[in-house]
Amino acid sequence: MQSAAYSLSSPCSIPSLKPRKFCSRAGFQPIRVSSSFAAPERHEHSVSLPNRSWRLSSSSSLPLRAWNLVPSDSKPDRFEVRATAAESAGEGEKSGSLVKILELGLLFGLWYLFNIYFNIYNKQVLKVFHYPVTISAVQFAVGTIIVSLMWTFNLYKRPKVSGEQLVAIVPLALVHILGNLFTNMSLGKVAVSFTHTIKAMEPFFSVVLSAMFLGEESLDNITLFSIITIMSFILLAPVAIFVEGIKFTPAYMQSAGLNVKEVVVRSLLAALSFHAYQQVSYMILQRVSPVTHSVGNCVKRVVVIVSSVIFFKTPVSLINSLGTGIALAGVFLYSRVKRIKPKAKAA
């Protein structure tokens, strides 16, 4: 058995090349690797290498010609690039998720804020202007103008709706009209806190009525709300004129001893707030599940009730507080049960 020694020497050991400047670097040391195995003869090989670390890669079962020189730092380089890319992707995902959370929090804040302003301005108007059908029609008219402007200036794409879809939306528009009309009627007669305690049951009826009327029809939430708003105005305006007459005019308000500017401005602010909070509500519904939206709606009731009690200085007895708390707690628990129920089935 004989041994063969393989030496890897630096370019400095070959006189003909004379790489003097290359070898003059401080800290450069020749790399010498020796390997012993059975071979018939002794061979001496000299290989010139650049100034980097090298290793021999082979399989013990392969003959001599299968040995390859592979830079030892090639795999770590690739691994480092991949690791850096993965870290960058992870940071990008974290940044994107943070932006989405902040955006959703802003939408919830606007939803609550617009709802508070709507109830305050609406209550102030209905206390002196006792025509809830007319006020409801004015609110839908303002919403229709806003939707038309959005479509005209391409702030939101004008939808292409079929006749079948319009027929399916009509019942939803009627329910939307009744909901707003009854809200305005109650705000003109009772406190805001009582109105929103009753409206806390809204998620339950929304689930039932959506299943009844909407069926399999699917539209973008904002598109659906826009069509419902326009359809509500078209359906309610003739009813308002027939039931209450044309009352929303400066001449009638002056004859009734009202401050025309104050009533008109607050009515328009209430209408803008009404459309804004409903629009934001549908925007939130595009981003979260219906159950999460219902929980947020329940929290919104609490915020509106507390703010209205503080603003209007409404006296609240202990029994009223307990009743309101029980109603809101019941709606909250209902929302939680709706969220847990699918998980139980899946298990």
What's the one-letter identity of residue 109?
Answer: G
Asked whether residue 184 is domain-assigned, the answer is yes
The two tokens of residue 206 are 């929304």
- Digit-coded pLDDT (tens) for 9-28: 444 444 444 444 444 444 44
* Cα–Cα distance measured from residue 323 to residue 329, given in angstroms and rounded to the nearest whole number: 10
Nearest-angstrom CA–CA distance, 116 and 277:
9
Closest to 248 (Cα-Cα) out of 260, 257, 238: 260
The answer to whether position 85 is within a domain reads no
Mean pLDDT over the full length of the chain:
75
Domain count, the chain: 1
pLDDT digits (tens, 9 = 90+) for 174-211: 988 988 998 898 888 877 777 766 665 555 555 555 55
CA atoms within 13 A on the CB side of 275: 26
pLDDT at 109: 95
Q: How far apart, in whole angstroms, are the C-alpha atoms of residue 331 and residue 201?
A: 6
Q: Per residue in 284-335, pLDDT tens?
A: 988 888 778 878 888 888 888 889 889 988 887 788 778 777 777 776 776 6
Predicted confidence at residue 4, as pLDDT, reads 45
Residue 164 lies in a domain: yes
Q: Is the pLDDT of residue 239 over 50?
A: yes
Longest dimension (CA), the chain: 124
Which amino acid, residue 84?
T
Highest-confidence range of 109-113, 161-165, 207-211, 215-219, by mean pLDDT?
109-113
- Report yes or no on 163 lying in a domain: yes
**Residue 179 counted as domain residue:** yes
- Express each pLDDT in 44-89 by its tens digit: 444 444 555 444 444 444 444 444 444 545 455 554 555 565 666 6
How much is the pLDDT for 226? 92
Any domain includes 68: no
> How many CA atoms are closer than 13 Å to the CA of 18, on its beta-carbon side?
1
Give the residue from 228, 234, 230, 130 showing the smallest Cα distance to 184.
Answer: 130
Q: Is residue 247 part of a domain?
A: yes
How many angstroms separate the CA atoms of 328 and 304, rounded?
12
Question: Does 173 reside within a domain?
Answer: yes
Average pLDDT of 239-267? 93
| Model confidence at 265: pLDDT above 90 | yes
Residue 274: domain span: 117-193+219-287
Dihedral of CA atoms 133, 138, 140, 145 in degrees, nearest 10, equals 160
